């Protein structure tokens, strides 16, 4: 076995031992995505969570398990009630985004690993690389990532274009701290600026970005239309946008319920974006479409 395969087997063993209910996903994703996926997830774990002896691997695996369990609880609530548990951003910020233990131990490590362990997330990450970044006519000079989360999508842009500079906006200081650590681990932090605060009161300067990224943010907002207008204003004429939204997905911090990809498409065109192409990936729930979690991605142009 290669060095990455050895580490992967150890990670899988830790998952089986300490979070058995969520351990099968390691095997299923390996079977679906193959050796390249193994190399990539191992590289991410080692760079960001350190050495096994430091306890970083186990902490990340347990954080993912809690993140996934929380998603299951909230999805069950959504399916039973036809609505999300919360409806105010202020409630979400108080209970989640300003909670250091929740963000740094569970939410952010769990979300980060979900980009690799959840097939629909990894497929959209691949689409972003191949269907967005690789198809840009010109390398971007400046990009904005609004709602950076773990910073993974900002990292992708910074690594793809060695001369690009980025601006990352988020309301959680813990998302900023996590992203700072991750970008530093990949050697791209020096080309990135953080802005902490509510985007509605810390608007980006108009028409500054060749590329605007907002990955699964719309469902976290009370007014996604206003947010999409800010994204549109942030882009230069001819600039591109990569905007995604979770649909029928009852996570703890989702407050705006989109029922279909078509709803998101209509919202984007209403504020001025021209949708060039789109892609939707379903979670493997096996349930009826109206309650099946989905992420829809849209490549747009101003």
What are the extents of the domains in the chain? 1-302
Asked if residue 207 lies in contact with residue 273, where contact means CB atoms within 8 angstroms, the answer is no
pLDDT at 201: 83
pLDDT tens column, 212-226: 999 999 999 999 999
pLDDT at 129: 98
Burial of residue 213, with CB atoms counted within 10 A of its CB: 0-12 exposed, 13-18 middle, 19 or more buried = buried
Asked if residue 189 lies in contact with residue 164, where contact means CB atoms within 8 angstroms, the answer is no
How far is residue 168's CA from residue 188's CA, in Å, rounded to a whole number? 13
> How many angstroms from the chain centroid is the CA of residue 229?
21
Question: What are the structure tokens assigned to 44, written together?
Answer: 């991410």
Which DSSP state fits 42?
Answer: H
294-301/274-282 β-pairing: antiparallel
How far is residue 106's CA from residue 152's CA, in Å, rounded to a whole number? 16
pTM: 0.96
Asked if residue 191 lies in contact with residue 158, where contact means CB atoms within 8 angstroms, the answer is yes
pLDDT at 205: 75
pLDDT at 287: 76
Name the stretches of the chain with pLDDT < 70: 203
Looking at the domain 1-302, which fold is it?
A: Rossmann fold (3.40.50)
CB-based contacts of 233, cutoff 8 Å, min separation 6: 203, 204, 206, 207
How far is residue 58's CA from residue 205's CA, in Å, rounded to a whole number? 42
């Amino acid at each position: 076995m290669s060095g990455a395969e050895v580490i992967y087997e150890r990670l899988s063993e830790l998952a089986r031992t300490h979070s058995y209910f969520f351990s099968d996903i390691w095997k299923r994703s390996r079977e679906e995505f193959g050796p390249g996926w193994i190399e990539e997830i191992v590289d991410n774990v080692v760079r960001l969570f350190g050495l096994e002896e430091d306890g970083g691997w186990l902490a990340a695996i347990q954080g993912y398990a809690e993140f996934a369990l929380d998603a299951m609880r909230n999805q069950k609530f959504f399916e039973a009630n036809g609505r999300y548990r919360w409806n105010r951003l202020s409630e979400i910020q108080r209970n989640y985004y300003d909670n250091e233990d929740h963000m740094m131990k569970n939410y952010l490590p769990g979300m980060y690993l979900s980009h690799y362990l959840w097939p629909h997330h990894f497929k959209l990450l691949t689409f972003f690389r191949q269907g967005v970044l690789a198809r840009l006519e010109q390398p971007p000079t400046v990009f904005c990532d609004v709602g950076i989360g773990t910073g993974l999508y900002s990292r992708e842009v910074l690594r793809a274009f060695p001369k690009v500079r980025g601006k990352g906006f988020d309301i959680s200081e813990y998302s900023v701290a996590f992203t700072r650590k991750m970008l530093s681990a990949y050697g791209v932090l020096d080309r990135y600026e953080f802005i902490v605060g509510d985007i509605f009161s810390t608007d980006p300067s108009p028409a500054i970005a060749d590329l605007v990224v907002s990955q699964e943010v719309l469902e976290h907002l009370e007014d996604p239309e206003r947010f999409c207008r800010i994204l549109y204003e942030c882009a230069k004429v001819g600039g591109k946008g990569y905007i995604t939204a979770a649909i029928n997905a009852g996570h703890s911090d989702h407050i705006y319920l989109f029922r279909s990809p078509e709803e998101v498409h209509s919202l984007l065109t209403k504020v001025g974006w021209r949708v060039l192409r789109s892609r939707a990936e379903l979670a493997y729930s096996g349930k009826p479409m109206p309650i099946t979690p989905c992420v829809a991605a849209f490549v747009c142009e101003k």
